[in-house]
A and B are shown apart, each in its own frame.
Chain A
């Protein structure tokens, strides 16, 4: 499943803020980390501020800081700010959707949508931050194991007997 670009940016930003709720972070810092334009991100942050998730900080340094409750705010709360998740009104449906084939396919797609909504609604920012930590830990352990394996492989090769030269 693919989220709209603004929604992804909003989620990245909110998680950066929630990870360090007392820190002021500038749009430029987040834009640089995620490889997007500051101008584009500023619009997203402005929408998040209007929704009360972040607040802008005046004065030296400026930037934004987290204004929500990470244990209560869910991914769905952020997504809903940027995407319309309501079912299409009758007048906005494509003609094919009103056919038996269209309605049956619509039922399947609705099933997927409901699961996606339930998933996003059940993951708070605090849970998401724990998930990020766990993945970082797993990645670090995997890299350590990989480094150790390479080192022990090198030692084995150094300890191996040299092959006899082939006579021509």
Chain B
């Protein structure tokens, strides 16, 4: 028996539309800074107002496609952020995207927000023409290391080195 288009067969319920996604990933605004400073302070224990203002000036207000400062917004508050940029030929590498900060408010974790943020910044790197994304973090930062690995990232060909400078 053929059904005509637009008629529901008796006994078949129409599916309710999915609730609107509460999380929106969007470019940062100046008004977000206080919340970003608070998230960072919760995680690191340090309130770095001047640092975040300078980061906003460089990455949030630059108008450059290669510099990205994105936030995850629930509609009521900012719960996470990601910052990165395309760097050309540093450390001998062809242009690639670097993620140098990502964080989600601890009480909003395990909900896929970090993944949404990373996906969004990777998409913007692709729009800027690069095909590789890198990051660097402390090897004792197991939580964030695990996050990046869960997204498919593997160790890159670089080795960070350091030394103390004489006093």
Contacts and interface: CB of A to CB of B under 8 A. Distances in A.
Nearest to A122: B145
Contacts, number: 27
A11 interface: no
Interface stretch (A50-58, A84-92, A126-134, A139-147): A126-134
A123 B155 CA distance: 11
A127 B150 CA distance: 5
B167 to A, nearest CB: 22
A125 B66 CA distance: 35
A114 interface: yes
A105 interface: no
Interface in B113-158: 139-140, 142, 145-146, 149-150, 152, 155
A134 B152 contact: yes
Nearest to A115: B139
Most chain B C-beta atoms within 10 Å of own C-beta, residue among A74, A114, A127, A130: A127
A126 B150 CA distance: 8
A138 B145 CA distance: 24
B145 A127 contact: no
Contacts of A121: 142, 145
Contacts of B146: 74, 122-124, 127
B139 to A, nearest CB: 4
A84 to B, nearest CB: 20
Grouping DSSP codes into helix (H, G, I), strand (E, B) and loop, the B interface class, with mixed when no group exceeds half, is helix
A108 B58 CA distance: 38
A114 B139 contact: yes
B150 A124 contact: yes
Given A114-B139, A115-B139, A122 B149 contact: yes
B124 to A, nearest CB: 23
B142 A127 contact: no
A18 to B, nearest CB: 14
A119 B140 CA distance: 10
Contacts of B152: 130-131, 134
A118 interface: yes
Contacts of A122: 142, 145-146, 149
A126 B110 CA distance: 14
Interface string B79-123: 000000000000000000000000000000000000000000000
A124 B148 CA distance: 11
Interface of A: 74, 114-115, 118-119, 121-124, 126-127, 130-131, 134
27 contacts: A74-B146, A114-B139, A115-B139, A118-B139, A118-B140, A118-B142, A118-B145, A119-B155, A121-B142, A121-B145, A122-B142, A122-B145, A122-B146, A122-B149, A123-B146, A123-B149, A124-B146, A124-B149, A124-B150, A126-B150, A127-B146, A127-B149, A127-B150, A130-B150, A130-B152, A131-B152, A134-B152
5 nearest interchain CB pairs? A122-B145, A118-B139, A127-B150, A122-B146, A127-B149
